[in-house]
Amino acid sequence: MEYIQTPYELKIPSHFPDMIIPIDNPMTIEGVELGRKLFYETKLSGDNTQACATCHAPSAGFSDPEQFSTGIDGLQGDRNSMALINLGWNTSFFWDGRSKTLEEQIIQPVINPIEMHEEWKNVVVKLNADVNYRNMFFKAFNSSEIDSLKAAKAIAQFLRTLISGESKFDVMYKYENNLSLSANDQVIYQTITPSEWAGYDLFRSLNGADCFHCHNGPLMQVQKFSNNGLDAAFTDIGRGDVTGDPNDYGKFKVPTLRNIAYTAPYMHDGRFATIDEVIEHYSSGVQQSSTIDPLIEYAFQGGVQLDAFEKDLLKQFLMTLSDENFVNNPDFQEP
Amino acid sequence: MSLVVITFFSCKEDEEPECQTEPAKLSVTVQPVFGNETLYLDSVYSTVEGYDVKFIDLKFYMGNPRNGSAILTDAGLFDYRERGTLLMEGEGSYLDYSSMNANLGIHSSINHNDPAAFDNASMLNIANSNDMHWGWNPGYIFVKVEAKVDTIADGNPLFDHNVVFHIGKDENFQTLTFSNVNWSDQGSHHELPLKLDMETFLQNSAETIDLKDEFTSHTAAGQEVLSMKVMMNFKAALTTY
């Protein structure tokens, strides 16, 4: 018996590039539905209490409001849970980029002793005991055999649907680049304040906040690892742990700024509780070190030295990156 | 050098000899060097001024590589850290490219197009250009050189002097000409190896870039002279073997 899957059509904003889907994991309605159920499935954890969504809550931009997530054994790591936004365009995963594909990344939290602390073979047993899952896996993959790879593929399909591109910023982006605005865009455009535009100018100004080198384009991030001047001496060497190269010490994946209002706390270790603290860091708290990104050009004076008015403008712009349709999208919530 | 075009034939036995001919593959590579040494990112080289310099990022766009009506691809993106020495790949006969003209940068006719609208395989697509696209108005960054320099010869290797050259904008667009290029037969394809000499980049005859004093340009107002010097020196540094 063969089940014919239904292709899933991603809702990609007009100003975004195409999303490249792995040939061995095409998007299907059945796969996304299964992935969504698995994302919220506590059976993936050792004591059946935690799901992916436990540390990646939709209301928090699919991140964790806590500085460090607590695993099923009460243990905590030393990095903040990353926001899951527009992952389909990312080229590496985790703060240190140790996974090159979503499918590869998804395998890890389940078996991590300080996170879900479970073995995939046990997860497979638990899922196999549920006739609903057996049916869903069959529909998604034409196979009644459940395994970790299929589970990871399904979750990856769901994560690729988590697309955020309907914020006020998106209208600003389209407007300034002469892209057509929909009727709804035009309504939103009328609500953009002079302060938000001024904040955007500061964001992009070399002599202003100078954020745009790393937070650029429709995704509001570039695909790179950077030392953004958090520490003069590293307690976490980040990317260096993966490459073994001292030149990578203290570098971490550049995150998107989309939905930043929802994704506190900030930085790889969640050290900043508020956006104000983040702005203050780049304004006056930058620490010099051997691997600091040369694009942090005012590091020699501790940062870009914004005054209070400029900080407020910048913050107002950062608020335009909030996409309520994204965090409240019913297709993304627990089924 | 062989003058035979490498092509691949796929025929089934007992069929009429109507064969599918796969187009020949071509690639252009760039090997960064510092004088006579192979250049590696994050390694230390000495300038004639006596500074120690570590290059940490070398990227550039080569647009519209062509010879007459033959066009290899729309643009190649060199990214030494992420893509190694590969600049571009294309299809065609190397015999069509006995010499090659190209652009250092992206021509104004497409420099300000929607970067999401280019073909997925194009290096101009924003998913591939990554941090080499500034936005529609300035367009693409043509040449990116980032480095850390120790300008104080005190024996203390403190590379705290940052060098950032991000050069783009239509007025800095340059053309390149490579005459009598030598394609090498790599078996599955032919390769044109180019050389990027960063010592020449810093010491291009009279147009020296002294990293102690000339270390930043984002092609902004007031940086026109250095921006053009960076482009001209980069152009001089990029040669055939």
For residue range A131-168, list pLDDT tens digits in order. 999 999 999 999 989 999 999 999 999 999 999 999 99
A243 to chain B, any CB pair closer than 8 A? The answer is no
Taking 50 as the threshold, does the pLDDT of residue A107 lie above it?
yes
What is the arithmetic mean of pLDDT over A223-233? 97
Rounded Cα distance, B227 and B237, in Å: 15
Residues 6+ apart with CB under 8 A from B192: B26, B27, B28, B29, B94, B97, B100, B178, B181, B182, B183, B184, B240
pLDDT attached to residue A24: 97
CA A263 to chain centroid, in Å, comes to 9
Taking 80 as the threshold, does the pLDDT of residue A127 lie above it?
yes
The strand ranges marked E within chain B are 8-10, 20-22, 25-34, 37-38, 44-46, 52-67, 70-71, 75-79, 86-91, 100-104, 133-135, 139-150, 161-168, 174-178, 184-185, 190-197, 203-204, 207-208, 216-217, 238-240
Contact assessment for residue A73 and residue A113, using Cβ atoms and an 8 Å cutoff: yes
pLDDT attached to residue B14: 54
Q: Where are the alpha helices (DSSP H) in B73-115?
A: 80-83, 108-111
State ipTM: 0.90
The strand ranges marked E within A117-198 are none
Q: What's the gap in Å between the CA of A55 and the closest CA on chain B?
A: 28
Rounded Cα distance, B39 and B43, in Å: 8
Spell out which residues of chain B touch residue A212, defining contact as CB-CB under 8 Å: 134-135
Check the CA dihedral B170-B171-B176-B177 and report its sign: positive
Interface test with B, best of A170, A205, A286, A295 (most B CBs within 10 A): A295
Cβ separation of A294 and B146 shorter than 8 Å? yes
Spell out which residues of chain B touch residue A223, defining contact as CB-CB under 8 Å: 130-131
Q: What are the structure tokens assigned to B23, written together? A: 């187009």
pTM of the complete model: 0.92
pLDDT attached to residue A23: 97
What's the alpha-carbon Rg for chain A, to the nearest Å? 21
The identity of residue A112, as a single letter, is N
The identity of residue A90, as a single letter, is N
Q: Which of residues 45-104 of B touch A (CB under 8 A)?
A: 56
Q: What is the pLDDT along chain B (241 residues), one digit of tens a residue?
A: 333 444 444 444 555 555 566 779 999 999 999 999 999 999 999 999 999 999 999 999 999 999 999 999 999 999 999 999 999 999 999 999 999 999 999 999 999 999 999 999 999 999 999 999 998 888 999 999 999 999 887 777 788 889 999 999 999 999 999 998 999 999 889 999 999 999 999 998 778 999 999 999 999 999 999 999 999 999 999 999 9
The identity of residue A238, as a single letter, is G
pLDDT attached to residue B179: 92
Average pLDDT score, chain A: 97
A170-213 tens-digit pLDDT: 999 999 998 999 999 999 999 999 999 999 999 999 889 999 99
- Nearest residue of A to residue B160 by CA position? A290
User: Quick one: angle between helices A29-39 and A131-141, nearest 10?
Assistant: 140
Weakest mean pLDDT among A28-42, A93-107, B15-29, B218-232:
B15-29
- Nearest residue of B to residue A254 by CA position? B131
Residues 6+ apart with CB under 8 A from B200: B233, B236, B237
B222 to chain A, any CB pair closer than 8 A? The answer is no
Peptide bond just before A218 cis, omega within 30 deg: no
Q: What's the gap in Å between the CA of A176 and the closest CA on chain B?
A: 9
Q: What are the structure tokens assigned to A163, written together? A: 């697309």
Cβ separation of A245 and B42 shorter than 8 Å? yes
Helix (H) or strand (E) holding A225: strand A225-226
Judge residue A278's burial from the number of C-beta atoms within 10 Å of its C-beta, 0-12 exposed, 13-18 middle, 19 or more buried: buried
